[in-house]
């Protein structure tokens, strides 16, 4: 992989000028996982980098499952690099449910519309826009920057970040920090106050398959042991169970900071009664207070009058950092003796501190563009490629800065219908990223 020096022909095209167009073009490349592999998008990224003199490498974990990696040379070779990573794949979209073509990349009403507009082709476009402007104008960052545009995040990263960490760690091994998705976006909590949650933690994930077995038989007979009944009882117990609250360091700091800046009576030791005061934030914070286990799929039988020999269910479990053992000890108690379980997907929980020079640079960049903004850490209930890169000792932050309209239910757009992002938010993001990357 060849490094770019940041030298290139001057141009008046700025990151803010082209970010919406870049995002629109990228959305039009359908990368629905698993039916549409990322190779065309990876090649598009490589082309956009090549246009400004940055060479890159495309690596496939499997046919079509491609990631693009590049390195920008900074002014101080003694400093460890910063990793910026973003995934190229998206979840599928049912076109009949949308008001626009989900893969049309339409620009209307001052928004860019389409699958991936917020998860997470917006960050891909903002990163490309800033780096392209830098190389056109001769700007070099103070440290090397590794760019990774990745495959397969939406299916667990086994043919994306996890595969690269296992097979090509040398691309990232000298990086000490990383930024990526689902953080740095504004949440309006008062007319003159916005918070910017920066992701510093993620719950772990375990998708479980439960299986009950029993003798098959005729539906008209008396049966003492029915696989469907045993499975249904286990699923019901799990679905109705409420795990205890555990306030992790990330959540505690979030609640303490929010209470301080808003004056709300948020008790970090007993936060749940106060959640209703947080409006749209309650959904996000509530999921970070405890382990969760939600039944999502059921399958049994093939005919109305035949008792099946087995029945299966899928449970989506998410566990807090430090509480994985509690999760699965409890699950084993709830499923009972006649039901077995196995993982169909499993990944770690991650958490890092909200401190240090990189965090200071994030906060300064946000406040420079929004003096009313308050950065604070939060825990994400889902998962990102940060899980993979944390295995290399990299500290990971969700930092995709956006200044959003107060009325926009942003978190509902992730994997949602009519996914879209304001053009002004993208332009804000390029300005914040530019400030951050020049100083971090």
What CATH number should be reported for the domain holding residue 90? Answer: 3.40.630.10
Write down the pTM of the prediction: 0.91
Does residue 166 share a domain with residue 302?
Answer: no
Q: Find the range with the poorest average confidence among 284-293, 308-317, 391-400.
A: 284-293
- Which whole number is the average pLDDT over 295-314? 95
Does residue 39 share a domain with residue 161?
Answer: yes
In this model, does residue 112 exceed pLDDT 70? yes
User: Does the residue 332 lie in any domain?
Assistant: yes
Give every CB contact of residue 240 below 8 A, 6+ residues apart in sequence: none
Q: How many domains does the chain have?
A: 2
Does residue 117 share a domain with residue 38?
Answer: yes
pLDDT value for 2: 42
Q: Domain with 287 in it: what CATH number?
A: 3.30.70.360
Residue 267 CB: number of other CB atoms within 10 A? 13
In this model, does residue 79 exceed pLDDT 70? yes
pLDDT value for 433: 98
Residue 304 CB: number of other CB atoms within 10 A? 6
Side-chain half-sphere exposure of 177, counting CA atoms within 13 A = 21
Instruction: Specify the 3-state DSSP secondary structure of 307.
Output: strand
Whether 171 contacts 148, CB under 8 Å: yes
Higher pLDDT, 7 or 438: 438
Does residue 207 share a domain with residue 167?
Answer: no
Summarize pLDDT for 392-403 with one digit per residue, the tens: 999 999 999 999
- Which of 327, 347, 367 is where one domain is finished? 347
Residue 255 CB: number of other CB atoms within 10 A? 24
In this model, does residue 9 exceed pLDDT 50? no
Higher pLDDT, 83 or 272: 83
| Distance, CA of 95 to CA of 93 (rounded, Å) | 6
As a whole number, the mean pLDDT across the chain is 94
Q: Find the range with the poorest average confidence among 195-204, 271-280, 304-313, 410-419.
A: 271-280
pLDDT value for 232: 96
Give every CB contact of residue 234 below 8 A, 6+ residues apart in sequence: 210, 212, 313, 334, 335, 336, 339
- Which whole number is the average pLDDT over 325-352? 96
Does residue 40 share a domain with residue 165?
Answer: yes
Side-chain half-sphere exposure of 26, counting CA atoms within 13 A = 36
**Percentage of residues in the chain having pLDDT higher than 90:** 84
Its domain, for residue 15, covers: 3-182+384-439
**Percentage of residues in the chain having pLDDT higher than 70:** 97
Q: Find the range with the poorest average confidence among 39-43, 114-118, 411-415.
A: 411-415
| Distance, CA of 166 to CA of 144 (rounded, Å) | 22
User: Does the residue 215 lie in any domain?
Assistant: yes
User: Does the residue 75 lie in any domain?
Assistant: yes
Does residue 144 share a domain with residue 90?
Answer: yes
Does residue 388 share a domain with residue 327?
Answer: no
| Distance, CA of 269 to CA of 247 (rounded, Å) | 7
Summarize pLDDT for 218-266 with one digit per residue, the tens: 888 888 889 999 999 999 999 999 999 999 999 999 999 999 998 888 8
For residue 10, name the pLDDT band (cuts at 50, 70, 90): very low
- Which of 347, 375, 406 is where one domain is finished? 347
Does residue 63 share a domain with residue 152?
Answer: yes
User: Does the residue 371 lie in any domain?
Assistant: no
For residue 6, name the pLDDT band (cuts at 50, 70, 90): very low
Distance of CA 273 to the CA centre of its chain: 28
User: Does the residue 356 lie in any domain?
Assistant: no
DSSP secondary structure code for residue 81 in this structure: P
pLDDT value for 284: 79
Does residue 262 share a domain with residue 394?
Answer: no
Does residue 138 share a domain with residue 47?
Answer: yes
User: Does the residue 38 lie in any domain?
Assistant: yes
User: Does the residue 374 lie in any domain?
Assistant: no
Q: Find the range with the poorest average confidence among 97-106, 115-124, 193-202, 274-283.
A: 274-283
- Which of 299, 324, 347 is where one domain is finished? 347
Cα–Cα distances in Å, from 211 out to 217, 229, 329, 343, 346?
Answer: 18, 12, 17, 12, 18
Does residue 136 share a domain with residue 11?
Answer: yes
Whether 68 contacts 130, CB under 8 Å: no
User: Does the residue 96 lie in any domain?
Assistant: yes
pLDDT value for 276: 78
Summarize pLDDT for 166-200 with one digit per residue, the tens: 999 999 989 999 999 999 999 998 888 999 999 99
Does residue 265 share a domain with residue 220?
Answer: yes
């Amino acid at each position: 992989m060849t490094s770019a020096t940041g030298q290139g022909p001057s141009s008046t095209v700025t990151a803010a000028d082209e970010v919406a167009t870049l995002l629109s073009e990228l959305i039009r490349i359908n990368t629905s996982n698993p039916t549409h592999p990322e190779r065309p998008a990876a090649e598009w990224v490589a082309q956009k980098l090549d246009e400004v003199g940055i060479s890159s490498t495309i690596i496939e974990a499997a046919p079509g499952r491609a990631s693009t990696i590049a390195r920008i040379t900074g002014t101080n070779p003694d400093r460890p690099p910063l990793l910026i990573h973003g995934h190229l794949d998206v979840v599928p979209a049912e076109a009949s449910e949308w008001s626009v073509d989900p893969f049309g990349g339409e620009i209307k009403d001052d928004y860019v519309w389409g699958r991936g507009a917020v998860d997470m082709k917006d960050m891909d476009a903002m990163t490309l826009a800033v780096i392209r402007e830098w190389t056109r104008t001769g700007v070099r960052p103070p440290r090397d920057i590794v760019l990774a545009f990745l495959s397969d995040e939406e299916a667990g990263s086994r043919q994306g970040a996890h595969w690269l960490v296992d097979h090509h760690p040398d691309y990232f091994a000298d990086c000490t920090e990383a930024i990526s998705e689902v953080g740095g976006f504004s949440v309006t909590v008062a007319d003159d106050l916005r918070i910017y949650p920066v992701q510093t933690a993620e719950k772990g994930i375990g998708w479980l398959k439960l299986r009950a077995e029993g003798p098959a038989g005729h539906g008209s007979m008396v049966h003492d042991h029915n696989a469907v009944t045993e499975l249904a009882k286990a699923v019901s117990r799990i679905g109705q169970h409420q795990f205890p609250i555990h306030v992790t360091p990330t959540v505690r700091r979030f609640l303490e900071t929010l209470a301080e800046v808003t004056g709300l009576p948020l008790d970090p030791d007993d936060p749940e009664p106060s959640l209703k005061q947080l409006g749209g934030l309650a959904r996000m914070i509530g999921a970070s207070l405890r382990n969760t286990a939600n039944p999502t799929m059921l399958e049994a039988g093939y005919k109305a009058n035949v008792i099946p020999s087995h029945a299966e269910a899928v449970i989506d479990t998410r566990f807090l950092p430090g509480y994985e053992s509690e999760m699965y000890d409890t699950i084993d108690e709830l499923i009972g003796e006649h039901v077995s379980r196995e993982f169909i997907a499993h990944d770690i929980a991650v958490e890092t501190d909200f401190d240090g020079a990189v965090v200071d640079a994030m906060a300064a960049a946000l406040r420079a563009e929004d003096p009313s903004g308050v950065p604070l850490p939060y825990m994400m209930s889902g998962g990102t490629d940060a899980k993979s890169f944390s295995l290399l000792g990299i500290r990971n932050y969700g930092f995709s800065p956006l200044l959003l309209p107060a009325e926009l239910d942003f978190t509902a757009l992730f994997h949602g219908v009519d996914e879209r992002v304001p053009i002004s938010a993208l332009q804000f993001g390029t300005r914040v990223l530019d400030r951050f990357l020049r100083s971090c």
